Structure 1
Amino acid sequence: MDVVTLLIAAGAALFFAIRLYQVLGRRTGHTPEPQPAPASDGPKAADSEAPMAPAFSGPAGNGLTAIAEADPRFDPVEFVAGARAAYTLIVEAFARGEKETLRPLLSDKVYARYAEAIDARLAKDEVTTTEIDRIAEAQITGADLAGKTARVKVHFQADIATETRDKDGQLVSGDLANKIDADEIWTFERPIDSRDPNWVLAGVRTN
């Protein structure tokens, strides 16, 4: 499947105006404070009152735990909310050909491919329209910390419709009257030791 089809089939969420870097993986003010250990009559270990790092379960549990230990701001719940927002923002910006919006949200490699696809479409005077019905699923399916790079994979399932028309309004591909089931894995990453909290989209593949 070529990059244009992958991008158009990517679906979208409900929070279009939210930037990826504003919400992905950052703890918010409602995060509860760690509770002290209960009192004991016996001697206490030296670190008995030290807050424990969060632990997560599931197939991505070990990776999420490693990321949270390296970056205490990371919160998987907030990350998924941000990923949904990024899903919408990236797909709709691509459909409109807004490279300036895409630039801070994509890795260098992914941006180069998206920009090339946008330029090719503009050269043909083609216009793409995408309509979103719903996102059925946005779920973390994988995570790892490789050296200083944190990566999180999110499985998206969405019902969408898309079509492309030429400058005369003639249909080139797709059909807004027929929705398709988008089923993809998006991979986000960021340098864990960077002061920049931004995550970027580093890969898209069909599931």
Structure 2
Amino acid sequence: MQNSFDVSTIIFALLAAFVVWKLRSILGARTGTEKPPRNPFIAGEPSAAKRPGEGEGKVIPLPGASAPIAQAAAADPSSRWKPHAEPGSKAWAGLDAIAAADRSFEIKSFLEGAKTAYEMIVIGFADGDRPMLQNLLDKSVYDSFVTALTEREKRGDKIETSFVAIDNGAIADAELNGRMAEIAVRFSAQIITATRNAAGTVIEGNPEQVVEINDTWRFARDVGARDPNWRLISTGDQR
């Protein structure tokens, strides 16, 4: 009985050793330096290609900041601003002048950035985010915003604002004054907004009602400056 038991144990041990050797020869031995499996749903994996500048710091997308030169140069002069402006209009001529002075200007990129800036500024004002507002506003506009914020904070009032929908914006006016490019954009948005006093009582607006707002904001940029960003210079176009 003892010899039979010993022989069986030896046979099974040899079989197990053979299986382990076979697996190692097929799969290879782990050395501890293997790369972990790539997760295609996580940004920044080694095999994922990065865009230029990616990973070098967070950049706020602003109007026209990354407009490709080739797009502006290749546009057909007879239709390059359609449907954003009418041929022969002041806005069309203004866009032509801006594009001639700034070869990186591209209308679609500008409007996408303007839309982003519009939403950021409205939410930033509601939240009292001064550093963010300072990056997006001309000094005179920023000073007026800060005055309103300071008065609101003294009263203890707070604004709650959220966007439901916003259009892509439409060109209301465009012109080049020397080196200053100015473009007025009409926005139409659906938002929910309410102002509460220090006691939490709603004193303006309705936190459960969607309202439509229509604004014309004017953005400007020095086309001769190295800074590619546009800034808000007016929240109401008077021209």
For the criterion TM > 0.5, the same-fold answer is yes
The percent of aligned pairs where both chains have the same amino acid is 29
1:24 equivalent in alignment to 2:64:
yes
Aligned to 1:38: none
Q: Unmatched 5+ residue regions in structure 1?
A: 1-16, 36-51
Specify the structure having the higher radius of gyration (Cα).
2
What is residue 165 of structure 1 aligned with on the other side?
196
Unaligned 5+ segments in structure 2 are 1-57
Distance 1:107 1:34, change over 3 A: closer
Provide the aligned length of Structure 1 versus Structure 2. Answer: 175
- Aligned-residue offset at 1:136: 3.5
Work out which of the residue numbers 162, 174, 183 in structure 1 matches 2:214.
Answer: 183
Residue 71 of structure 2 aligns to a residue whose secondary structure is coil
Q: Give the drift of 1:135.
A: 1.1
Q: Determine whether 1:114 maps to 2:145.
A: yes
Q: Tell me, yes or no, if the aligned pair for 1:97 and 1:118 is still in contact at 8 Å.
A: yes
Question: Against the structure 1 CA distance between its residues 88 and 167, is the aligned structure 2 distance closer, same or farther, given a 3 Å change threshold?
Answer: same
* 8 A Cα contact 1:161 1:176, kept in partner: yes
| Residues 95, 128 of structure 1: 8 Å contact kept | yes
C-alpha displacement of 1:32: 8.2
Find out whether 1:70 has 2:101 as its counterpart.
yes
SS at match of 1:128: strand
1:100 paired residue number? 131
Aligned-residue CA RMSD (Å): 2.8
Distance between the aligned counterparts of 1:120 and 1:151, measured in 2?
30
What is the TM-score with the length of structure 1 in the denominator? 0.75
Distance in 2 (CA, whole Å) between partners of 1:175 and 1:129 is 10
In 1, Cα distance between the equivalents of 2:229 and 2:114? Answer: 12
Question: Hey, what does 2:44 align to over in structure 1?
Answer: none
CA distance in 2, matches of 1:153, 1:111: 18
In the other structure, the counterpart of 2:53 is none
- Residue 193 of structure 1 deviates from its aligned partner by 0.9
Residues 93 and 127 (structure 1), Cα distance of their counterparts in 2 relative to 1, 3 Å cut? same
Q: Counting helix residues as a fraction of each chain, which structure ranks higher?
A: 2
C-alpha separation between the residues in 1 aligned to 2:180 and 2:230? 11
Contact kept, 8 Å, 1:20 with 1:105, in 2: the verdict is no
Secondary structure of 2:103 counterpart: coil
- For the pair 1:145 / 2:176, whether they are aligned, the reply is yes
Secondary structure in structure 2 of the residue aligned to 1:195: coil
> Deviation at 1:101?
0.7
Answer yes or no: is the 8 Å Cα contact 2:69–2:104 preserved in 1: no
* Pair 1:87 & 2:127 matched: no
Letter in 1 for 2:144: R
> 1 or 2 for the larger relative contact order (CA 8 Å, sep ≥6)?
1
Relative to its length, the structure with more strand (as a share) is 1
